Every structure is written in C-alpha cells, then in structure tokens.
Structure 1
C-alpha cells in the first residue's frame, strides 16, 4: 500500500544561525514582521538576540510576548489582533512548542479569518498562510517542522489540534546555543516528550519504512544525549544532538501520527495545566507496557536499537523498553501524577472524568492497540499516580 511522507521545511542548523534571519526575511519580501515569544524567552535574553538579528532599517517589527504554556484560543486571538492591526506579512516564532503553535494559529487567522476553532481537525485550512520562520529554544516538541498546532479551548476545557500541511513553518533556524539556558527539569520534560514522539510514531498503525527509520534513529539520539543534557546544560554536543533529534523525529511523527500517551496527556494538560512534556512523561512507561502486548516485535526492535539487554524470551523482552523509560523518568525527576497540577492537584477521584475525556482524543485512532477502554486508561492513571 502506498504511503505519503511529507517534508516541507528548509532548515538552517548550527551556532549563530540566527544571523541568517534578515536574509531569510528579505527572501520572503517581508516588510512588517511579527515576532512571537513568551516572557521566559524574553527573561533569558533570547528574544533580544533574535530582535538584534533583524535589520531595523529594512523591516518594521512588532512583538507579541503573551504566549503561555498550553496556549489558549484567547492567546491566539490576542496575537492575531496585534498582527492584523500592524498589517503583518511574515511571522517569526521564538521559543518552544507553545510559541510556535501560537504563531501557526495566528498565521491561519491572518490568511483565513474567522475563529481558530473553525480549522480544528485535519486538512481544514483552506488558504495558504504567510511566511513563518521558527526559531526553537527547546529540544522536544518538533513543532518547528510539523504540520500540527495544539491549542486549548477554555470553554469546553479540552486540548485540540489543527493538522494541515499549510501550517508547517517555511524556515527553521535551529541554533543549539538557544537551548543552553533551559533548566534541567524543562530539559527532562521536553526530552521525554521527544522520546514519546519517537516511540509512539514507531508503533503507530500509520507507520511505514520511512517514518520508522526517522523514529528509531531519533530514539537512539535521545537515549544517548538526553541524560547528558539533563546533567550538564552547557554540554553543547548533547544540546546540539537533542535539537537535531527533534528535527529527525518530527519527520517521523508528523507523517505517522501518535497514540494513547498523547490522548491522555492532552486531557491532563487541558484540565490541570500540566506542561505537555510532563504529561507525556508521567504515563509513557505504562502506555508502552500496555501496547507491548500488541506490538512486541516493534518494542523489541526499539529496545535493541538503544542496546538494552535482551534475554531472548519475547514475553520478557517486549517490556524492556517500558522498564527503561520508567527508569529514565524517575532518574530525571519527573513527578508522579499525585504531585502534578498547575492550579489544582490531581486526585484519584478525577480519573473517571480524565479517562472519559481521553477516549474522545484523535490520537487514539493511530494507537497500535485499539481495545482502549475507560478501565484501561484509569489503570494507567493509577500506575502513574
């Protein structure tokens, strides 16, 4: 059966690559540029470095720094109002997945109008969008090269996605130096988010030879370099490889899609404000163990790829990856669900609601096991608690 493998983005990678920004904007014939970032990126000086790389004589620059974790429809509308009022013709997104996803959504509204939820789902963006340049500052989401924007609707309290090839950034400027200031707990969460992308896309029912090649190679990179980046944020070889791994895995999961981990994580983020990487990391080992009953071959392939010891007994070896991921999450200080929650702590009384909401999530359609029930999800939540 024929499979599609879509890659769009032009990537400039390496130290000081941000100095290419003005040249890139000139190539897009830009005049009025919106720069999107959050206050954390501003606080560590990265926003200033990006703004300094834009020729102020050639471009009129306006900024939107209101990005929040798990960006909401209100944030998108606020950024869109600024962009529209200033007749923006190009966007620069600086930050992690939240900033890049916010910029993607603003871009959709600039080109198409309406409300952002009009474009929820797959392939629902009718008109081509404006040039978008993504400058990632974390190594985790791969939003800089994917066709996905994840947002939160505060009215219905749910996380939803726009998936459309039109919204993929046109240009990525990937400077590993911008990840140097990321603190260890964020390095861990975003790195485990990337590992989730690698594992879920490898076992997705939509996976094919091309996606699996990228997903497996990315897992090898993350397994080797994430612990180093976590221990020492100034280890630039590790930082560089983590950023490279995010690009590689983005090629895989944007074509193969994800699964049960993301279905649960989206619900945790929407209702309790968990950062996306933390939400994934909490449940990842337990979902991998659940899926191993269906795709033992693939789980063993991944385990062998990162040189985990094998016994030769398939019934034992299919759980080797799940055990290793549990070890990694604990070693890097990922808190259990009982200690998570931005405003309200999660309790076991929330599990029934969370499971029902997770069952409505789109990524479930791509999970290797399709026998996911409310009871299955509650059991996973209990183990992660």
Structure 2
C-alpha cells in the first residue's frame, strides 16, 4: 500500500547561520515581521541576537514574548492581536517547541481568521499561511520541521493539535551555539522527548521503511549524545549532533505519528502544567514495556541499534529497551509523577481523570497495541508514580 512521506523545510545549519535571516526574509518578500519567543530566550540573549540580525532598514520588526510552556489558546489570541495590529506578513519563531507551536498557530489565524480550535485535527487549515522561519534553541521537539502545533484549551483542560502541511516552517535556521545555554534539566527533558519520538514512531501503525530509517537513526544519535550534553553543556560536537538528530527524527515521526506515551503526556501537561518532555519521560519506560508484548521484533531492533546487551531470548530481550530507558530517565534527574505538577502535585486520586482523558487522545490510533483501557493507563501511572 502506497504511503506519503512529506518533507518540506529548507534548513540552513551551522555556526553563524543567523546571519542569513535578512536574505531569507527578502526572498519571502516580507515587510512586517513578528518574532515570537519566550522570556527565557530573551533572558539568555538569543532573542536579541536574532532581532539584531534583521536589517531594520528593510523590515519592520515586532516582538511577542508571551510564549509559555504548553501554550494556550489565550496566548495564541494575544499574539494574533499583535500580528493583526501590525499587518504581519512573516513570522520568526525562536526557542523550543512552545515557541514554534505558538508561532504556527498565530500564523494560521493571521491568514485564516476565526478561533484556533476551528482548525483542530488533520488538514483543516484552508488557506495558505505566511512565511515562517524557525530558529530552534533546543534539540528535542522537532517542531521546527513538523506540521504540528500542540496547544492547550484551558476551558476543557485538554491538549489538542492542529496538523496541516501548510503550517510547516518554510525555513529552519539551526545554529548549535543557540543550544549552548540550555540548562541540564531542559536538555534532558527535550532530549528524552526526541527519544520518545523515535521509539513511538518506529513502532507506529503508520510506520514505513522511510520513517523507520529516520526514527532508528535519530534514536542512535540521541542515545549516544544526550548523556554527553547532559554532563557537559559546552560539548558543542554533541550539541551539533543532537540538533541534526532532532531534524532526522522529526522526518520520521511527522510522517508515522506517535502513540500511547504522547496520549498520556498530553493529558498530564493539560491538567498539571508538566513540561511536555518531562511528561513523556515519566511514562516512556512503562509504555514501552507495555507495547513490547505486541512488537517484540521492533523492540529488539531498537535495542540492537544502540548496542544494548541481549541474551538471545526474545521474552527477555523485548524488554531491554524499556529497561534502558528507565535507567536513563532516572540518571537524568527526571522526578517521578508524585513529585510533578505545576499547580498542585499529582495524587493517585487523579489517575481516573488522567486515564479517562488520555483515552480521547488522537495518538492512540497509531499505537501498536490497540487494547488500551482505562485500567491499562492507570497501571502505567501507578508504575510511573
């Protein structure tokens, strides 16, 4: 059966790549540019480096610094108001996945109007959007090259996605130097997010030879380099490889989709404000073990790809990857679920609503095991607790 493998983004990679930004904006025919970022990116000086690199004689530059982790509809509306007021015709997203997703969503409204939830789901953006340049400062989400914007509806308390090939960034400016200042905890969370993308897309029901190639290579890159960068944030060779790995694995999961880890993580983020990468990491080992019963061959292939010791006994070896992921999560300081939560700590009393809402999540359709129940998710939450 024929499958589509969609790759759109043009990437400029390497040190001082930001110096190309005015040339790129000129090619887009831009006039009024909205630079979208969070206050952390501003604090470490990266936002200023980007803005300073844009030729003010050619472009009117407007800044929006309202991005938050797990961006909400309200944040998107605030950014859209600024874009509309200033007749924005090009966007520059600077930061991690939240900045990219926010910029994509504002861009959708700028060209299409309405409410961002009007475009929830797959392929529901009718009109082409304005040019978007994505400048990642983390290596993990791959949002710079994907067709997804993940957002939170605070009224229904759920995370949802807008998926459309129109919203993919037209250009990526990827300079590994921009990741140098990322703290170890954020490096761990975003790196484990990328590993989650690799694992879930490799075993997805929609996986193909093309997606599996990218997913497996991405897993190898992050497994080798994430521990190095976690220990030494100034290891720029490893930083560069992780940024490249992020693009590679993005090509895999944006075409194959994800699974049960993301279904649970989206719900944890929506209800408790847990950063996306952390939410993934908390449940990744336990979901991987659960899925191993359905796809032992693929689990062993991934274990072999990262040179884990195997016994030759499939019943044991199919859990090698899950066990190793559990070790990595602990080693990188990801706290268990009972210590997570922004507004209040998660308790076992919350498991029912988390499981109920996770069952409504779209990524479940692509999980290799389709026998997922509320009890399944509650048991995974207990193990992660």
Q: Do both share a fold (TM > 0.5)?
A: yes
Tell me by how many angstroms 1:343 deviates.
Answer: 1.3
- 3-state secondary structure, aligned to 1:144: coil
Distance in 2 between residues matched to 1:88 and 1:298, nearest whole Å: 46
Residue 358 of structure 1: aligned partner = 358
1:5 matched to which residue of 2? 5
Residue matched to 2:29: 29
Q: How many Å apart are 1:10 and its aligned residue?
A: 0.2
Q: Secondary structure of the residue that 1:160 maps to in structure 2?
A: strand
Q: Which residue of 2 aligns with 1:243?
A: 243
For 1:335, the equivalent position in structure 2 comes to: 335
Task: Indicate the residue corresponding to 1:136 in structure 2.
Answer: 136
How far apart are the structure 1 equivalents of 2:130 and 2:48? 23
Task: Give the 3-state SS of the residue equivalent to 2:144 in structure 1.
Answer: helix
The Cα shift of 1:220 comes to 0.2
The answer to whether 1:159 aligns with 2:173 is no
Count how many residue pairs are aligned between Structure 1 and Structure 2. Answer: 385
Name the SS for the 2:100 alignment partner: helix
Aligned to 1:286: 286
Structure 1 CA distance, aligned partners of 2:186 and 2:216? 23
Residue 377 of structure 2 corresponds to 377
| TM-score normalized by the length of structure 2 | 1.00
Give 3-state SS (helix, strand or coil) of 1:19's partner.
helix
- The equivalences for 1:161-310 within 5 A come to 161-310=161-310
The C-alpha deviation readout for 1:305-364, integer Å capped at 9, x for no partner, is: 000001000000000000000000000000000000011100000001100000000000
Partner SS state of residue 149, structure 1: strand
The Cα of 1:249 is off from its aligned counterpart by: 0.4
Cα deviation, residue 86, structure 1: 0.3
Rounded to whole Å, the distance in 2 between the matches of 1:172 and 1:165 is 15
Cα RMSD over matched residues? 0.3
Q: Secondary structure at the match of 1:307?
A: coil
**Residue 368 (structure 1) aligns with:** 368
Alignment match, 1:104:
104
Secondary structure at 1:37's aligned position in 2?
A: strand
Q: Secondary structure of 1:114's match?
A: coil
- Structure 2's unaligned 5+ residue stretches are none
Q: Give 1:142 deviation, angstroms.
A: 0.2
The answer for the alignment partner of 1:18 in structure 2 is: 18
SS of the residue corresponding to residue 312 of structure 2 reads coil
**Residue 86 (structure 1) aligns with:** 86
Deviations, residues 51-80 of structure 1 (Å, cap 9, x unaligned): 111001110000000000000000000000
Structure 1: gaps of 5 or more residues: none
Give the Cα–Cα distance (whole angstroms) in 2 for the partners of residues 241 and 383 of structure 1.
33
Task: Tell me the TM-score normalized by structure 1.
Answer: 1.00
The residue aligned with 1:145 is: 145
Structure 1 stretches of at least 4 aligned residues deviating more than 4 Å after TM superposition: none
Mapped partners of 1:229, 1:21: distance in 2: 27
Secondary structure of the residue aligned to 1:159 is strand
State how far apart, in whole Å, the 1-side matches of 2:271 and 2:354 are: 8
